[in-house]
Amino acid sequence: MFKNFLQDSFFYTKRYYGYIFGLVVISFIFVLLSVVILLILGILLAMLMGVDISTALLLNDKDIFPFLSSRFIFYLILMVLLLVIWLFLAVAFVQYPLVKTFIEITREKEIYKRPFSIYFEKIKEKNLLMGLKIIGLGLLLMFIIGPIFGIGIVCIAEAETIINILARLVVIIVGIVGVIFGVYFFLRLMYANAALVDKDLGILESIRESLKLTKGKMGFVIAAFVYSTIVSIIFQIPLYIVDILFKTGSFQESALFIILSLAGFVLYLIAVPYFVIIQYLPYNILNSYNKGENHQDKQIDQTDDYVIG
């Protein structure tokens, strides 16, 4: 499976490289325009309510909260509501079409698909329900994986403060187990979002589908995840180097720093289409293997029925 994954990842990247890059740019423009609209609405709302927006700069100071006017607090509440609505619309009209398109173009090698047509068709669907389901699934996964992984991290971090050796050992073991289980559940459920978007499932159904797809395939899931992580880290190394040089202070204004910054950013952008492919391709590979296994099981059942008959 992993060998097929590597071969197909280069195949799909070569076939759809320009399309993927174009889709990412278009989505970025849509998000940017929506942010501008959100800011304009915020400014207009402040003008209508007679609120001084510059007061928001003082919110970092905790002592300012008792002195905030009720009008300004109401303005903040309305802005939070606008932000929630903006997030929902961005998921429904940007994230959903993008994810659906990436899943579709990494599904079949024999069929050449038109990514832009798929993308804009999904936008025309105005599938607000899908946006709600994506957000709901994200929150549910956060509540499932977050506490398990968080308990593990906290236990490991706080183990050094425990004086009793036996108690410290128990806390470290609990922490390690928590981290392992957190990573395990993350890997088992990492395809729930793709299944939800691809098959228009419910939130719980998509979780069950991810568990079904990854059952008995954890070797491939881990290999694909590790490979994706390593590739991402490799292409981010120039950015890490630039960040280290930036923190030195003396290197910030030099021409070499500007050239390295641009080169690192461009190199990362060039690799973005490949990152997209290796993110969504494993789902389709698991899906195809799962369908193949189910087909074989049906053939065996039919053969058994024939023999019995």
Q: What is the pLDDT of residue 293?
A: 63
pLDDT at 16 over 60: yes
Is 112 found in the same domain as 190?
Answer: no
Q: How many CB atoms lie within 10 A of CB 94?
A: 20
Percentage of residues in the chain having pLDDT higher than 70:
83
Q: Which of 199, 215, 231 corresponds to the end of one domain?
A: 215
Contact 134, 96 (CB under 8 A): yes
H helices present in the chain, as ranges: 2-49, 70-90, 96-105, 115-124, 128-158, 165-189, 192-199, 203-214, 218-248, 255-308
pLDDT mean over 109-136: 92
How many domains does one find in the chain?
3
Give the model's pLDDT for residue 46.
84
Query: What band does 306 get if pLDDT is binned at 50, 70 and 90?
Result: very low
pLDDT at 297 over 70: no
Q: Is residue 136 part of a domain?
A: no
For residue 309, is pLDDT > 50? no
The answer to whether residues 189 and 242 belong to one domain is: no
Residues 260 and 298 reside in one and the same domain: yes
- Asked if residue 111 and residue 13 are part of one domain, the reply reads yes
Q: 16 and 118: one domain?
A: yes
Last residue of a domain, one of 76, 101, 126: 126
pLDDT score recorded for residue 126: 85
Give me the pLDDT at residue 294, please: 58
Domain membership of residue 292 (yes or no) is: yes
Verify that 121 and 24 share a domain, yes or no. yes
In a domain, 26, yes or no: yes
Query: HEC string of 206-241?
Result: HHHHHHHHHCCCHHHHHHHHHHHHHHHHHHHHHHHH
Are residues 173 and 86 part of one domain? no
Q: Which domain holds residue 92?
A: 9-126
Residues 58 and 118 in one domain: yes
pLDDT for residue 95: 93
| Poorest-pLDDT segment among 65-74, 107-116, 171-180, 232-241 | 65-74
The region of weakest confidence among 102-111, 218-227, 273-282, 285-294 is: 285-294
Give the pLDDT confidence of 31-57 residue by residue, as tens digits: 999 999 999 998 898 888 887 766 655
- How far apart are alpha carbons 276 and 273 in whole angstroms? 5
Q: Is the pLDDT of residue 170 over 90?
A: no
Q: Is the pLDDT confidence value at 63 over 70?
A: no
pLDDT in tens, 176-188: 999 999 999 999 9
**Residue 134 lies inside a defined structural domain of this protein:** no
Angle at the Cα of 182 from the Cα atoms of 179 and 187, rounded to 5 degrees = 125
* 4 is a domain residue: no
Mean pLDDT score of the chain = 85
Examine the fold and report which residue of 126, 153, 172 is the final residue of a domain before the chain moves on.
Answer: 126
Least trusted range by pLDDT, from 23-27, 56-60, 234-238 = 56-60
Q: 103 and 45 share a domain?
A: yes
Residue 37 lies in a domain: yes
User: Are residues 121 and 162 part of one domain?
Assistant: no
Position 186 in a domain:
yes
Please report whether residue 42 resides in a domain. Answer: yes
**229 and 210 housed in the same domain:** no
Q: What is the pLDDT of residue 64?
A: 56
Q: Are both 260 and 300 inside the same structural domain?
A: yes
Write down the pLDDT at residue 118.
94
